[in-house]
Amino acid sequence: MCVMTNDLIGKRVKLTEEFATEYYYDKPYVNKVLIVVDLILSYKEDDIKKEFGYNRVVLKDDDGNIYDDDIEEWGVEEVTANETTFEVCPHCNEEVQLESKFEAQVCPSCNTIILPCSICPVNDNCLNCPLSNHSVEDVYNKHFNKMLEGTGYTACFVETSELYGEDDDEVDEDDPYYMMPMYEAHIEDENEDEIDDTWTGRYCEAASVAEELEAFISELLEQKEDSSDEGDKQIIGIQDVESSQAFEIVEELIEKFNSGRLIHFDQKSALVLWYHTSKNEYIVHNVYKGLDKWVLENGNYLDDADDAMLAFLKRKGKKLSISVNLSEEDIEDLRSGSVFNWTYPDESGIEVDVELFQGDEEA
């Protein structure tokens, strides 16, 4: 007699590999997670199925579509609500785990939007990709609001009304980001009031905004978790940490990006210069600690190494002090049209070319 396993009803299942590859490979639900809505006794005239206890399952997808295609009970396997799928991110080339949901998601390695192509139902026909028109804001807001679930806070990730370079004459039209949309984000409380110091920078690369927002959220969650004994905690800076330990902290922060490489860390100013190999970017960050967790924040993202070093020195407060002591004779020589040239050696080893001359009085 066929035994009905009613405990399968209501469970989330997928087709087994054999069923998916040999029998139902052309069905639209071949890679979907489905819900068992009914079990039907095997055909009475089929003595073999009766003997081995096979039942037919009736399945439903998340959109409410019902599938009753003579799928036998052994052709499905239960999945957990948190089942994940593996995907190689086309942006950072890391193999990462995503939720087993066919929707645009955020790469846990580089914070760019990634599609779960490994469970695509259209059989690798990328020209007809069902996810090609995903909303950048919706994907990131869903991702970060899941992180904030139950806290009373809300992530607000938006596309700004500004296009990069539209009001800046210094931006070259050949710049790859010229006239591209820009994004920014912040966190709001349950009254929709902005949380202080949670505004990200404004960038064309949505992943750069996501990177800063994730750091703010991590810090906010840490503060909320430890708010009960906040008075017992001492806020310290990286400057107060023993130098070797501080270096290890910075290296660990860079390593979490998988493809990050530390260039220089200045403990006194809490500044880090590092290179993101997968994005081909030089980044200047502050190292900051609110309670228990160290984070990188307030980033400058630059394509050129020299520009990155200059940004690092500027944020460090590095200045060149040049004093020129001219005699009366020197001044007369300048007035008569002489030009003085020499190289000024700064104490840090930087050499600066200096030229003094009498300018146009009318200018």
pLDDT in tens, 278-337: 788 899 988 877 556 788 877 888 888 888 888 888 888 777 677 777 788 888 887 888
Q: Check whether residue 294 and residue 360 sit in a common domain.
A: no
Q: Check whether residue 355 and residue 299 sit in a common domain.
A: no
Cα(339)–Cα(336) distance, rounded to whole angstroms?
9
Which residues, listed in sequence order, are joined to residue 13 by a DSSP beta bridge? 34, 78
Residue 44 inside a domain? The answer is yes
Helical axes 136-147 vs 206-225, angle rounded to 10°: 20
Structural domains in the chain (count): 5
Among 178, 210, 227, residue at a domain's last position: 227
| 305 neighbors 294 (Cβ within 8 angstroms) | no
Q: Check whether residue 109 and residue 148 sit in a common domain.
A: no
Residue 93 inside a domain? The answer is yes
Range(s) of the domain holding residue 118: 84-133
Give the burial string for 117-144 (b: 16+ CB within 10 Å, else e): eebbeeeeeeeeeebeeeebeebbbbbb
Q: Check whether residue 361 and residue 293 sit in a common domain.
A: no
Give the pLDDT of residue 341.
76
166-210 per-position pLDDT tens digit: 888 788 888 999 999 999 999 998 888 888 888 999 999 999 999
Who contacts 87 (Cβ-Cβ below 8 Å, separation ≥6)? 95, 96, 97, 98, 114, 115, 116, 117, 118
Among 284, 301, 316, residue at a domain's last position: 316
12-55 per-position pLDDT tens digit: 888 887 777 777 777 877 777 888 888 777 655 555 555 555 67
11-21 per-position pLDDT tens digit: 788 888 777 77
Q: Check whether residue 91 and residue 171 sit in a common domain.
A: no
212-241 per-position pLDDT tens digit: 999 999 888 887 776 544 444 444 688 888
The amino acid sitting at 75 is G
Q: Check whether residue 154 and residue 218 sit in a common domain.
A: yes
Tell me the pTM. 0.45
Q: Check whether residue 304 and residue 222 sit in a common domain.
A: no
Who contacts 352 (Cβ-Cβ below 8 Å, separation ≥6)? 320, 322, 343, 344, 346
Residue 245 inside a domain? The answer is yes
Residue 214 inside a domain? The answer is yes
Residue 1 inside a domain? The answer is no
Q: Check whether residue 151 and residue 223 sit in a common domain.
A: yes
